[in-house]
Amino acid sequence: MKKIDTVKLRASIPFFQDIDQQLLDQLTPYMKEVSFTKGNVIFHEGDEGNQIFFIRTGMVCIYTSNKAKRITLAYLDKGEYFGEMALMQPGLLRSATAEAMTSVKAYALHRADFQQLVEKDRNVPFLILNYTMERLRKANQQIYDLTFLNVQHRIIRRLLDLCKEFGNLRTDGAYQLTVKITHQQLADAVGAARETVSKVLIDLQDQQLILFQNKKLIVLQLAQLEQKIEGWYYPSQPISE
């Protein structure tokens, strides 16, 4: 098995930057490099959770679904991790499905080895808690949006979130997303029909607020887009501040 370079590991995965080097040296032999092609399901909701995954490259979608509907909970990018909740207590099942949105390379760590990390480094539980609290904040925001915002506002809100997470500021002041987002994926994220989402996006393009090129979103007028939902922000900061 190829030895994992701890220097590259720290550089690519922020979680490991505060882990003691000696412990990291002991842990990396148990970590496995895994790859997934676009569309591969990494694990299903309801599966037994026995691994945590740290994303080296690519993007992962976390979602929950039933026979009628699919709701996207999060898009995770390189440097982030997922699958940790089912590892915290034996017997817990996966609470959501993880699917590769692009080709993905990741490090996988089994439950027993992850527990060793938790037991030997007191920083680890706090790192996980901070990360979990941020995800909880985002989940609360999503509940707020679904409860109080109309479809147009929910779509705008999600576009702004995507800009904050995956947007690159261009020299002309526009923000271009580094990932491709389809109308269906956006519909899954806001709990609406794809046709409804398409109509709202066309309207925003007609107003020259956004533009889609090669399935990549460009926000042309960020401030004007923010103004459309001014006063409806669940406590978090606008991008332009």
pLDDT in tens, 126-185: 877 887 788 778 778 887 888 788 999 999 999 998 998 889 999 999 999 988 888 999
Residue 238 lies in a domain: no
Q: Are residues 101 and 153 in the same domain?
A: no
**167 - beta bridge partners?**
177
User: What single-letter amino acid sits at 14?
Assistant: P
- Does 91 or 164 have the greater pLDDT score? 164
pLDDT at 231: 61
Asked if pLDDT for residue 237 goes beyond 60, the answer is no
For residue 94, the enclosing domain spans 6-123
Total structural domains within the chain: 2
Mean pLDDT in the chain?
A: 87
Q: Are residues 170 and 66 in the same domain?
A: no
pLDDT at 235: 47
CATH number at residue 75: 2.60.120.10
- Does 125 or 205 have the greater pLDDT score? 205
Of 41, 91, 44, 40, the C-alpha closest to 65 is 44
- State pTM to two decimals: 0.79
Instruction: Tally the C-alpha atoms within 13 A of residue 217's C-alpha that lie toward its C-beta.
Output: 29
Q: What is the mean pLDDT of residues 207-234?
A: 84
Q: Are 198 and 183 in contact (CB under 8 A)?
A: yes
Q: Are residues 159 and 86 in the same domain?
A: no
How far does the chain reach from its first CA to its final CA, in angstroms?
Answer: 47
CATH number at residue 154: 1.10.10.10
Residue 135 lies in a domain: no
Give the integer Cα–Cα distance in Å for 185 and 166. 15
Of the three residues 89, 123, 157, the one that is the final residue of a domain is: 123
